[in-house]
């Protein structure tokens, strides 16, 4: 009653009006509060993360209330039909006797696992009902359900149900199991995947030896609830602000809170892992962590967190802010100090080969889903790769070829950069050819390695794209070194670097414009591709080079470069006696290319879309410079999502549509 009196006083003070006694007025006030919640900061942050447009708005459902807090024959709970962290087929959830729903999710009281209900004489019957509900729900909805219930004077009421959020691990296991059990359609199994979340399966786990060592060294502090699987190690912080600050500086942090609240959202996003001393697996910390794929240990009750002193104590040991801490979100363990992390099982099976497929359950679930997805997909899948190593990794994960091999990356390694610089500083076609001749063997070897790693799969190879000034040194010392190396006056280096300066390099002398100005560069690149192809093919390995001319806006640009490619191809084929099948196409990455796609398609044997540059030019926004207004644009709702993270459908998408229509 005292509490009620105080609330009444507070309402009077804050709103200048007494708490309304008319039920309808109360109802309207509540409805207004729900609508208003759409624009609070938490909702806005949430929407931004999940790219939900501001315009959608929210709805209000009005229904009669049941009470879980009318005595010890009342209870309330939150449950999942399966374990949303691991995907195991167990009844998973929590309940609190004599409480309302808010008490469970707020994490203020630590609730009991729902399984204990069956041993509680008061609720054993309810438990049986719930078990039935659990099966009915999965059958009815064809997916894991996350539902809330209240028991009012021993009578069970279901409050709501929805598809349960889950970790990526739980997703693959549940999809695998429920499809096998014929509870879920394969179609739903694929559609309900969160592709971003799947990358959680690649998240590191603890290195086995370091993990065992930590145990032996007695660094295990306690165990809480495993609320978000994976391994996290980092600096201990106690506030969201500190987490954000350190993470912005590149540090890895573990955020420890007594309990988390929506105000901590930004800090939780910034942290590697989240640790709470209170609250269960349905607490705010656990829910959010699971959804974001964050490692989380919740309700580690043995831990004492002292915000004022900035310490975390457990069993006589005390860690301070900034100390290393490690948590295992799959087991709930909390360790003092850092523990080295290791590759995920998927990587160990597919890439490193240090684990056998049959030893990894995760791998098997993953493979099951991928096979399912392969049945439905109509898109081919290629990887970005510039080295044989990258090619092998990508193929292990299912890539069917290379979609983009950037040849410029190949010019930075070791001595190559010297030859590249010599080429750029050359003052005649002959001198440029001499320098290019030095680059040819490097480039040929690169392509050879790539073709071998591809084992007959196609490779789209982009010719030199970035402006030449990216390859030259800009500070005095490096310029002097280069001049000495090349035996030319430093003034010449300086003058050439200055001449290469551009006001807007993104819109400057790059892409096919280089190959048109300096045809000998394209000649060298074509020669490297075809010589490598001929060599690998001679060894009995199929090669499918697809040369891509970048930044084409005019058909004649492409014609110019395609002529060179065909000419070199003919020469190399004659020299080697190898007949090579190849394609020459272009990347549509400036608006004019899209708008005149019909003409360009007369020459191009394929199109690729360069959505990064296409976005920069279509929006007139430099990705490197938008930092100064990105935040404002997001706050003002001008951007629904960062257009460089998620295609701008109305603008860039429209250009792509035009290009596809006209190109056919």
Q: Nearer to a second copy by C-beta: 385 or 514?
A: 514
Instruction: Compute the distance between CA of residue 319 and CA of residue 301 in angstroms, rounded to an integer.
Output: 16
Q: Which listed range, 90-98, 332-340, 442-450, 635-643, lies at the site for a second copy (CB under 8 A)?
A: 635-643
556 makes contact with a second copy (CB under 8 A): yes
SS3 20: coil
- Residue 553 CB, nearest distance to a second copy (Å)? 5
Instruction: Compute the distance between CA of residue 98 and CA of residue 71 in angstroms, rounded to an integer.
Output: 5
One symbol per residue from 517 to 546: x for binding a second copy (CB under 8 A), - otherwise; what is it? x-----------------------------
Instruction: Compute the distance between CA of residue 384 and CA of residue 390 in angstroms, rounded to an integer.
Output: 8
Tokens standing for residue 444: 């040929």
Instruction: Compute the distance between CA of residue 197 and CA of residue 176 in angstroms, rounded to an integer.
Output: 16
Q: Nearer to a second copy by C-beta: 157 or 633?
A: 633
509 makes contact with a second copy (CB under 8 A): yes
Which residues, listed in sequence order, are joined to residue 460 by a DSSP beta bridge? 546
Distance from the first to the final alpha carbon of the chain: 75
- Residue 620 CB, nearest distance to a second copy (Å)? 3
Residue 538's alpha-carbon distances to 319, 458, 529, in angstroms, are: 63, 17, 14
Q: Which of 260, 560, 603, 608 binds a second copy (CB under 8 A)?
A: 560
Q: Which listed range, 44-52, 154-162, 454-462, 499-507, lies at the site for a second copy (CB under 8 A)?
A: 499-507
One symbol per residue from 196 to 225: x for binding a second copy (CB under 8 A), - otherwise; what is it? ------------------------------
Q: Give 382's Cβ-side CA count (13 Å radius).
A: 16
Q: Which listed range, 68-76, 389-397, 418-426, 610-618, lies at the site for a second copy (CB under 8 A)?
A: 610-618
Q: Which of 336, 422, 616, 663 binds a second copy (CB under 8 A)?
A: 616
- Residue 364 CB, nearest distance to a second copy (Å)? 46
339 makes contact with a second copy (CB under 8 A): no
632 makes contact with a second copy (CB under 8 A): yes
Q: Which residues of 261-284 are buried (b: 16+ CB within 10 A; e: fewer)?
A: eeebbebbbbbbbbbbbbbbbbbb
Q: Which of 182, 430, 628, 645 binds a second copy (CB under 8 A)?
A: 628
Q: Which of 244, 333, 546, 589 binds a second copy (CB under 8 A)?
A: 589
Q: Which of 231, 410, 655, 659 binds a second copy (CB under 8 A)?
A: 655
Q: Which listed range, 116-124, 316-324, 330-338, 593-601, lies at the site for a second copy (CB under 8 A)?
A: 593-601
Residue 441's alpha-carbon distances to 265, 435, 447, 527, 531, in angstroms, are: 53, 11, 10, 10, 10
CA 57 remoteness from chain centre: 26
Q: Which of 159, 506, 641, 660 binds a second copy (CB under 8 A)?
A: 506
- Residue 661 CB, nearest distance to a second copy (Å)? 13
641 makes contact with a second copy (CB under 8 A): no
- Residue 56 CB, nearest distance to a second copy (Å)? 16
292 makes contact with a second copy (CB under 8 A): no
Could you say which DSSP state residue 115 is in? G
Segment (H or E) for 561: helix 555-576
DSSP 578-626: -----EEEEEE-SHHHHHTHHHHHHH-S-EEE-HHHHHHHHHT--TTTT
Which three-class secondary structure string do you get for 46-103? Answer: HHHHHCCCHHHCCCCCCCCCCCCCCCCCCEEEEEECCCCCCCCCCCEEEEEECCCHHH
Q: Which listed range, 186-194, 227-235, 307-315, 496-504, lies at the site for a second copy (CB under 8 A)?
A: 496-504
Report CA Rg, the chain. 31
651 makes contact with a second copy (CB under 8 A): yes
Q: Which of 165, 618, 659, 663 binds a second copy (CB under 8 A)?
A: 618
548 makes contact with a second copy (CB under 8 A): no
Which three-class secondary structure string do you get for 398-429? Answer: CCCCEEEEEHHHHHCCCCHHHHHHHHHHCCCH
User: Cα torsion for 491, 497, 499, 504, to the nearest 10°?
Assistant: -160
SS3 255: strand
Neighbour tally for 302: CB within 10 Å = 13
- Residue 621 CB, nearest distance to a second copy (Å)? 5
Q: Which of 7, 35, 50, 629 binds a second copy (CB under 8 A)?
A: 629
633 makes contact with a second copy (CB under 8 A): yes
Q: Nearer to a second copy by C-beta: 207 or 408?
A: 408
Q: Nearer to a second copy by C-beta: 103 or 599?
A: 599
Contacts (Cβ under 8 Å, ≥6 apart) of 268: 240, 243, 255, 260, 274, 285, 288, 289, 292, 294
554 makes contact with a second copy (CB under 8 A): yes
Q: Which of 596, 603, 608, 611 binds a second copy (CB under 8 A)?
A: 596
Q: Which of 6, 209, 637, 661 binds a second copy (CB under 8 A)?
A: 637
624 makes contact with a second copy (CB under 8 A): yes
Q: Nearer to a second copy by C-beta: 64 or 650?
A: 650
553 makes contact with a second copy (CB under 8 A): yes
Strand order in the sheet with 145-152: 112-113, 92-97, 75-80, 145-152, 155-163
Determine the Cα angle at 207 with ends 201 and 208, to 5°.
110
428 makes contact with a second copy (CB under 8 A): no
644 makes contact with a second copy (CB under 8 A): no
Which residues, listed in sequence order, are joined to residue 474 by a DSSP beta bridge? none
64 makes contact with a second copy (CB under 8 A): no
Could you say which DSSP state residue 443 is in? H
Q: Which of 44, 502, 642, 647 binds a second copy (CB under 8 A)?
A: 502
- Residue 662 CB, nearest distance to a second copy (Å)? 10
Binding residues for a second copy, rule: CB under 8 A, are 502-509, 513, 516-517, 551, 553-554, 556-557, 560, 589-592, 595-596, 599, 613, 616-622, 624-626, 628-629, 632-633, 636-639, 648, 650-652, 654-655
């Amino acid at each position: 009653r005292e509490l009620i009196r105080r609330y009444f006083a507070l309402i009077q003070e804050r709103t200048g009006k007494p708490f309304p006694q008319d039920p309808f007025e109360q109802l309207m006030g509540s409805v207004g509060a729900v609508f208003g919640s759409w624009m609070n900061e938490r909702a806005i942050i949430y929407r931004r993360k999940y790219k939900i447009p501001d315009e959608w708005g929210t709805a209000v459902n009005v229904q009669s209330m049941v009470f879980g807090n009318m005595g010890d024959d009342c209870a309330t709970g939150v449950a999942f039909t399966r374990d949303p962290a691991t995907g195991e087929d167990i009844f998973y959830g929590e309940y609190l006797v004599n409480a309302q729903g808010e008490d469970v999710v707020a994490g203020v009281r630590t609730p009991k696992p729902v399984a204990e209900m069956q041993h509680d004489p008061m609720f054993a019957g309810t438990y049986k009902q719930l078990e039935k509900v659990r099966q009915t729900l999965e059958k009815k909805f064809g997916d894991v359900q996350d539902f809330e219930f209240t028991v009012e004077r021993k009578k069970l009421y279901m409050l709501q149900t929805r598809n349960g959020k889950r970790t990526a691990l739980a997703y693959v296991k549940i999809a695998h199991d429920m499809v096998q059990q014929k509870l879920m359609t394969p179609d739903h199994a694929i559609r309900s995947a969160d592709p971003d979340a799947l990358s959680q399966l690649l998240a590191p786990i603890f290195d086995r030896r370091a993990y065992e060592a930590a145990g032996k060294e007695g660094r295990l502090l306690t165990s809480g609830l495993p609320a978000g699987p994976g391994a996290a190690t980092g600096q201990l912080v106690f506030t969201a602000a500190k987490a954000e600050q350190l993470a912005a500086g590149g540090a890895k942090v573990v955020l420890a809170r007594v309990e988390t609240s929506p105000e901590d959202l930004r800090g939780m996003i910034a942290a590697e892992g989240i640790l709470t001393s209170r609250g269960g697996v349905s607490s705010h910390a656990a829910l959010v962590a699971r959804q974001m794929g964050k490692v989380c240990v919740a309700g580690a009750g043995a831990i004492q967190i002292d915000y004022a002193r900035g310490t975390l104590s457990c069993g006589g040991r005390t860690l301070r802010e900034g100390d290393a801490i490690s948590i295992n979100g799959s087991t709930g363990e909390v360790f003092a100090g850092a523990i080295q992390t290791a590759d995920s099982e998927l990587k160990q099976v597919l890439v490193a080969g240090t684990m056998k497929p049959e030893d990894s359950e995760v791998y098997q679930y993953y493979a099951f889903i991928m096979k399912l997805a392969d049945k439905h997909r109509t898109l081919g899948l290629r990887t970005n790769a510039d080295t044989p190593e990258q090619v092998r990794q990508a193929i292990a994960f299912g890539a069917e070829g290379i979609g983009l091999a950037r040849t410029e990356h190949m010019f930075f390694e070791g001595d190559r950069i010297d030859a590249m610089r010599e080429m750029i500083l050359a003052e005649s076609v002959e001198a440029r050819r001499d320098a290019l001749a030095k680059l040819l063997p490097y480039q040929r070897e690169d392509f050879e390695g790539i073709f071998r790693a591809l084992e007959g799969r196609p490779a789209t190879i982009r010719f030199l794209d970035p402006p030449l000034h990216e390859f030259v040194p800009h500070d005095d010392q490096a310029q002097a070194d280069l001049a000495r190396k090349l035996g030319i006056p430093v003034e010449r280096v300086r003058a050439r670097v200055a001449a290469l300066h551009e006001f807007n390099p993104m819109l400057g002398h790059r892409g096919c414009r280089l190959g048109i100005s300096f045809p000998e560069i394209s000649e060298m690149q074509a020669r490297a591709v075809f010589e490598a192809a001929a060599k690998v093919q001679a060894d009995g390995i199929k090669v499918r080079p697809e040369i891509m001319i970048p930044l084409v806006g005019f058909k004649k640009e492409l014609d110019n470069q395609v002529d060179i490619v065909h000419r070199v191809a003919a020469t190399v084929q004659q020299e080697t006696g190898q007949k090579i099948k190849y394609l020459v196409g272009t990347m549509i990455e400036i608006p004019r290319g899209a708008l005149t796609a019909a003409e360009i398609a007369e020459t191009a044997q394929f199109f690729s879309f360069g959505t990064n540059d296409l976005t920069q030019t279509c929006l007139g926004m430099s990705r490197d410079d938008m930092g100064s207004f990105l935040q404002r644009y997001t706050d003002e709702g001008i951007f629904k999502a960062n257009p460089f993270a998620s295609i701008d459908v109305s603008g860039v998408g429209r250009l792509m549509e035009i290009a596809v229509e006209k190109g056919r």
